[in-house]
Amino acid sequence: MADEVIEFIGVYDADATLIGEISYWLKARVGATHCALCELTHGVFRTKREWVSCSRELAVPFRTFHRNDAPTDVLQTSPQFPVVLVRRSSGLSVLLDADALDKFAGDTVEFADHLADVISESEDPF
């Protein structure tokens, strides 16, 4: 039986508070902080339209959290952020760490294509 992909989970390197969001936004504008996952899913002020479209086309959900609101099992799997985890029928594991996310250089479509490939590979019986 294939190790089926159930969902992807992304954790931003930012806090889900008003102060955390404003702080990240200001620091990102002056180059004092960087979250490669944020760059893949968000523009300057809101979620990228291309990310909304691409994520809807994935065959599994892509859930996102901030580092301060992620579930315990996610935090136990990866204490480093940003990160994308994959939940398979066999369990939860890191799919893309910060360095791997940086390699997409903000290219949302390439990122979504990579996720789709991961899903396809899990469905391939050979």
| Nearest of 43, 48, 41 to residue 66 by alpha carbon | 41
So where are the chain's domains? 5-123
Looking at residue 45, its pLDDT comes to 79
Q: What pTM value is reported for the model?
A: 0.87
Structure tokens at 97: 């760490």
CATH fold of the domain at 5-123: Glutaredoxin (3.40.30)
Determine the Cα–Cα distance for residues 120 and 95; give it in Å rounded to an integer.
15
Structure tokens at 36: 């490669």
Question: For 45-93, what is each residue's pLDDT tens digit?
Answer: 788 999 999 899 999 999 999 999 999 999 999 989 999 999 999 999 9
Whether the CB-CB separation of 88 and 122 falls below 8 Å is answered with yes
